[in-house]
Structure 1
Amino acid sequence: MIEASEPEEIIDNVEKAEVSTEVVMDAPSTNQHLHIVITEAKVHLQGPRQLILDTETTGFYFQDGDRIIEVGAIEMINRKLTGSSIHIYINPEKPVGDSENVHGISDDFLKDKPKYAEIADTLFAFLKGAEIIAHNAAFDMNFLNMEFKRVGLPLLSEVCEVTDTLALAKNKHPGQKNSLDALVRRYEIPARDRTFHGALLDAEILADVYLAMTGGQVAFDMDTLTQAEQDEKKITRQSVQVDLVVIKPSEHELNEHETWVKQYEEKHGEACLFAK
């Protein structure tokens, strides 16, 4: 049973979103559902995949029958967002209830969306083998493990490493508020409209927070930018010629310095670093 220790952390539990395309391409075509939105990578990089992920759910307690209604994840490799993502709305086969006040997703909106069993294979193939990065990750992983187990697939936690940005934030900022909203303010992440929590939007925000919190910047490979974009990002450096004024010590200052050096050497019994 997952309970957040701070009120704002509970709110964060109902948000997240985006990932990659190449892995899903290997999945059978029968799993390519109309409502699974997968974007291809704009940047093709070599290295371990990290997926910044978020979910929206009908409530807080997977043990009590709450279900996932939205999954979003974005792909990052070598601390660069590749542009690849996955986004799915899911029919939870039950009313969303009061959770609609948090995520803004209605029963009417979800009624024509696929059930989890219809998208499970494709989602599992996309996530498998990556490092999952999520805020209060236990919440998302418990729901995902439950949903995959229901359709007969392995637990996601058995095929993915997991990094919890809430745990990272608490370690880095003990005693402070570490909800996603609080971290956005602390790290001065560009503001986005979060009237409602959306999985893909929150994944994008979390990517910014994660990179800021771990000392990096969100970046796409320069090769994918247009020439105009590259020109905008260039910093023109001009060499500056400055003639520095050299002030030489007076005779009196030299004598004072020599006296100080002798006193230092007599006191410490060793040569002074500043002796001539």
Structure 2
Amino acid sequence: MERLIALDTETTGILPKEGHRIIEVGAVEILNREITGTEFHKYIQPNRTVGDSVNIHGISDKSLINKPQFEQISDDFLTFIEGATLVIHNAPFDLGFINNELQIMGVDKKIENLCPIIDTLEISKKKRPGRMHGMDALSRHFNINTEARFTVNELKNKIKHHGALSDAQILAEIYLAMTGGQSILFQESSNTESQISDPILVKKNIANKGNIKVIYANNKEIDLHNNFFK
């Protein structure tokens, strides 16, 4: 029985070494390639101001008053992800912050030592080099509706804030779509293999072989072809 956890965090900034902390954790369970509806979600008091990061996630200092610190939710969080493979988009970012929180608690272990990690950003980069790999781009590509996860005010004002739980929900759908077999994500050209190998079409062409007119290129056309890349 394969148990995956799509995971995302929101933070006060980009780098833990600059003192930035986690303010939200969201995780979504996938069991045997089915999103079960079982989720883990916590807002966290970071013991510092959120600063300009509020423009990304919309989580204000005021909204975090009286929220638990990471240490207070860590046991529940670790229990939830125990035994699962974590699916994360741009895994080094989220893992860096979670490991930083564990280190602050005095825990020497890292999340990647406890759980296998799947980075959907790396999957996308390998399968689609040179293309956009952000979650918004992948959501559009897979026709995943993300508007349902934003508030009415956000949609009205055309401001969409990222949330850890909503992003984890979207990520779960992205992962299932990009690993669901022959997906349009990884096949940019149309698939004509079934047409070419169709026995009925082959039989029809053989039967009409005598009626097929073959037109050969003339000398001018051959010269143009041979010199095309010169």
Q: Is the 8 A contact 2:146 2:170 kept in 1?
A: no
Among residues 101, 117, 121, which one is paired with 2:75 in the alignment? 121
**Structure 2 residue matching 1:92: 3-state secondary structure:** coil
**In structure 2, what is the Cα distance between the partners aligned to 1:191 and 1:164?**
20
Q: Is the 8 A contact 2:85 2:116 kept in 1?
A: yes
1:189 aligns with 2:144: yes
Q: Kindly provide the CA deviation profile for residues 192-235 of structure 1, in whole angstroms up to 9, marking residues without a partner as x.
A: 2551000111111111111111116xxxxxxxxxxxxxxxxxxx
1:89 counterpart residue number: 43
AA partner of residue 170 (structure 1): K
Q: Is the 8 A contact 1:89 1:110 kept in 2?
A: yes
Structure of higher CA gyration radius: 1
Q: Which runs of 5+ in 1 are unaligned?
A: 1-46, 217-252, 258-276
AA partner of residue 167 (structure 1): E
1:201 aligns with 2:150: no
Q: Is the 8 A contact 1:128 1:156 kept in 2?
A: no
2:7 counterpart residue number: 53
**Post-superposition offset of 1:102:** 0.4
Among residues 20, 23, 26, which one is paired with 1:72 in the alignment? 26
Matches within 5 A, 1:3-152: 47-152=1-106
Q: How many residues get paired?
A: 173
**Whose helix proportion is higher, 1 or 2?**
2
Q: Is the 8 A contact 1:120 1:151 kept in 2?
A: no
**In structure 1, what is the Cα distance between the partners aligned to 2:114 and 2:170?**
25
Q: Is the 8 A contact 1:48 1:78 kept in 2?
A: yes
1:155 aligns with 2:110: yes
**In structure 2, what is the Cα distance between the partners aligned to 1:49 and 1:148?**
23
**Post-superposition offset of 1:129:** 2.3
**In structure 2, what is the Cα distance between the partners aligned to 1:147 and 1:123?**
12
Q: Kindly provide the CA deviation profile for residues 145-164 of structure 1, in whole angstroms up to 9, marking residues without a partner as x.
A: 11112213322111000010
Give the TM-score, by structure 1 length: 0.60
**In structure 2, what is the Cα distance between the partners aligned to 1:58 and 1:65?**
9
Taking only aligned residues, the RMSD between alpha carbons, in angstroms, comes to 1.7
**In structure 1, what is the Cα distance between the partners aligned to 2:102 and 2:67?**
18
**In structure 2, what is the Cα distance between the partners aligned to 1:191 and 1:93?**
31
**Post-superposition offset of 1:166:** 0.4
Q: Kindly provide the CA deviation profile for residues 10-65 of structure 1, in whole angstroms up to 9, marking residues without a partner as x.
A: xxxxxxxxxxxxxxxxxxxxxxxxxxxxxxxxxxxxx1320000000000001111
**Structure 2 residue matching 1:84: 3-state secondary structure:** strand
**In structure 1, what is the Cα distance between the partners aligned to 2:145 and 2:162?**
16
Give every structure 1 segment of 4 or more consecutive aligned residues whose post-TM-superposition deviation is greater than 3 Å.
none
Q: Which runs of 5+ in 2 are unaligned?
A: 151-159, 182-206, 212-230
**In structure 2, what is the Cα distance between the partners aligned to 1:129 and 1:159?**
8
**Structure 1 residue matching 2:79: 3-state secondary structure:** helix
Q: Kindly provide the CA deviation profile for residues 128-153 of structure 1, in whole angstroms up to 9, marking residues without a partner as x.
A: 22111011011001111111122133
| Percent of aligned pairs with the same amino acid | 47
Q: Kindly provide the CA deviation profile for residues 56-102 of structure 1, in whole angstroms up to 9, marking residues without a partner as x.
A: 00000011110000000010111011221100000000000000000
Q: Is the 8 A contact 2:89 2:119 kept in 1?
A: yes
1:168 counterpart residue number: 123
**Post-superposition offset of 1:124:** 1.4
Give the TM-score, by structure 2 length: 0.72
